[in-house]
Amino acid sequence: MINSYSSADKVLLAVDCIIFGFDHQGLKILLIKRDFEPERGKWSLIGGFLKRDEILDDAAIRILNTYTGLHDIYMEQLHAYSEIDRDPVDRTISVSYYALINIENHNEELIKNYHAEWFSIADAPNLIFDHNEMVQHAIRRLRYRTSIKPIGFELLPEKFTMRQLLELYEAILSKELDKRNFISKINSLEILNKLDEKDMQSSRKGSYLYTFNKEKYEEKLLNDFVLNL
């Protein structure tokens, strides 16, 4: 048993954020071009180091706010990466988080200032260190969560059509869903508010708009419901 802190090895603790967004072209990921060594000029996840006065969640919130300008972001702690040689500069352990944001709501000037850019998942460049592994882990977790529980409303506008919701789920799950079956399952959950407003750009008759009912959703979670898409 170690009985002295002074004899223990000191290591750095990083927080890396896999930030997902969505638009009509599909699921996107926010990446940053590094302006320092090692791997200067290459693409990376957005991250930083844990400060002495922070817990991990606070560090992730700080990093997400710094690069997007957003508060109250949906995020989930994912995994710890501790390979000895994962960072060539110093012994560094990284804890990853994945986050979901609405691309329309983030601060575009911040994105530009930090040399960050949105990429579609399919066309994302190769990343530094073990960041590719982190992204794949996050995608698997997101798909699993989406297949059993409604998730991802943070990726949509406040008001959205059923078609937009379907397209979001298809983008996350990377497969085509039966439209009637999907709508039936979503409606049966009673977690959407149907509005009197319509999106008139989708068709001549227009498509009804919906909003997410967070209170009903949290109520359903207490009953441990499953979506089964």
Q: Choose the final residue of a domain: 148, 168, 194.
A: 148
Beta-carbon contacts of 180 under 8 Å, excluding residues fewer than 6 positions away, are none
Boundary-marking domain end, from 123, 148, 173 = 148
Specify the number of domains making up the chain: 2
pTM here is 0.90
Q: What is the pLDDT of residue 29?
A: 96
Nearest to 146 by CA among 163, 169, 167: 169
CATH of the domain at 93: 3.90.79.10
The reply to whether 17 falls in a domain is: yes
State the CATH number of the domain containing residue 176: 1.10.10.10
Integer-rounded Cα Rg, in Å, for the chain is 20
Quote the crossing angle between the two packed helices 162-173 and 131-148, to the nearest 10°.
Answer: 130
Boundary of a domain, candidates 85, 113, 148: 148
Question: Domain range spanning residue 35?
Answer: 12-148
By the 8 A CB rule, do 206 and 199 touch? yes
The residue type at 47: G
d(CA 18, CA 38): 20
Q: Which residues of 105-135 are buried (b: 16+ CB within 10 A; e: fewer)?
A: ebeeeebeebebebeeeeeeeebbbbbeebb
**pLDDT by residue, tens only, the chain of 229 residues:** 566 788 889 999 999 999 999 987 789 999 999 999 999 999 999 999 999 999 999 999 999 999 988 888 999 999 999 999 999 999 999 999 999 998 888 778 877 788 899 999 999 999 999 999 999 999 999 999 888 888 888 899 999 999 999 999 999 999 999 999 999 999 988 899 999 999 888 777 889 999 999 888 888 777 766 777 7
Give every CB contact of residue 196 below 8 A, 6+ residues apart in sequence.
none
Give the per-residue pLDDT at 1.
55
User: What's the CA gap between 198 and 185, in Å, rounded?
Assistant: 22
3-state DSSP assignment of residue 208 = strand
Domain membership of residue 32 (yes or no) is yes
Instruction: Look at residue 148 in the predicted model and tell me its pLDDT.
Output: 84
